[in-house]
Structure 1
């Protein structure tokens, strides 16, 4: 059994191309995603790293610029936990869960762009699922703010 997917939708005053760039360009992700750089060629099957940490199991599952991007969710490393202030006990519990996946669906909606974040593949009773339910709304809001005003949310800096 698995926990249900987390789904979050927001509308952003931008273009699909700018939103795609914000999701894939490390200079952008560093600005609105807690200083994190996500590095990849963004081709299907390509590795995807967070801040250059080697993680051979984190790969791009689907890449259809500027419409859809999907990748496996990261390994919860000690370096990551220290950077974001996660205790070792919680980090170990997160790392013991099955690897999940995140998908970004980008759709033009009149003068706006509809961004839907779907994060799924969680174990039953997943701690990761509980955490992404709080994390994704903050990340998506910071992304929206950054694209619309040039400033991310203060909590994401």
Structure 2
């Protein structure tokens, strides 16, 4: 059964939708904002996505399925992490959605995480996404 919490964050990034999209879908760039995780996927709807890395000395595997891939507009996939210590069953997967909205010479990048089980986890999720968006902004914006 789905859980009731959703986390939402957004940031305005000076740059093109193409540059923001590249940051979202290039595994080398994703490694920068996902704390060194190796991201692997074909980006085709219905295909798997995996994240592998090490967090505080513990190796982890996170995985999901690409639900929507509309270049320079929407990226949506499910996500489950073995770090959470919960069973790998459909009801424990969260949905991560990235949406890009052009605003002249900038892009509004919004991210939501759905199906969060508890309010404290929702708060942690908000902190996580704020850090991710700050790093994506640093990657994309010219120096």
1:72 has 2:42 as partner: no
Would the aligned equivalents of 1:69 and 1:105 in 2 still touch at CA under 8 Å? Answer: yes
Aligned to 2:46, what secondary structure does the other structure show?
A: coil
Aligned to 1:115, what secondary structure does the other structure show?
A: strand
1:142 has 2:135 as partner: yes
Q: Which has the higher helix share?
A: 1
The count of aligned residue pairs is 133
Would the aligned equivalents of 2:76 and 2:97 in 1 still touch at CA under 8 Å? Answer: yes
TM norm structure 1: 0.74
CA RMSD for the aligned pairs?
2.3
Instruction: Deviation per CA, 1:81-111: give whole Å up to 9, x if none.
Output: xxxxxxxxxx32xx35721110000111111
Aligned to 1:51, what secondary structure does the other structure show?
A: strand
- The aligned counterpart of 1:87 is none
Aligned to 1:6, what secondary structure does the other structure show?
A: strand
Distance 1:11 1:130 in 2: 21
Unaligned runs of 5+ in 1: 78-90, 151-157
TM norm structure 2: 0.81
Instruction: Deviation per CA, 1:28-50: give whole Å up to 9, x if none.
Output: 11223211222111111010011
Would the aligned equivalents of 2:61 and 2:82 in 1 still touch at CA under 8 Å? Answer: no
Distance 2:120 2:65 in 1: 22
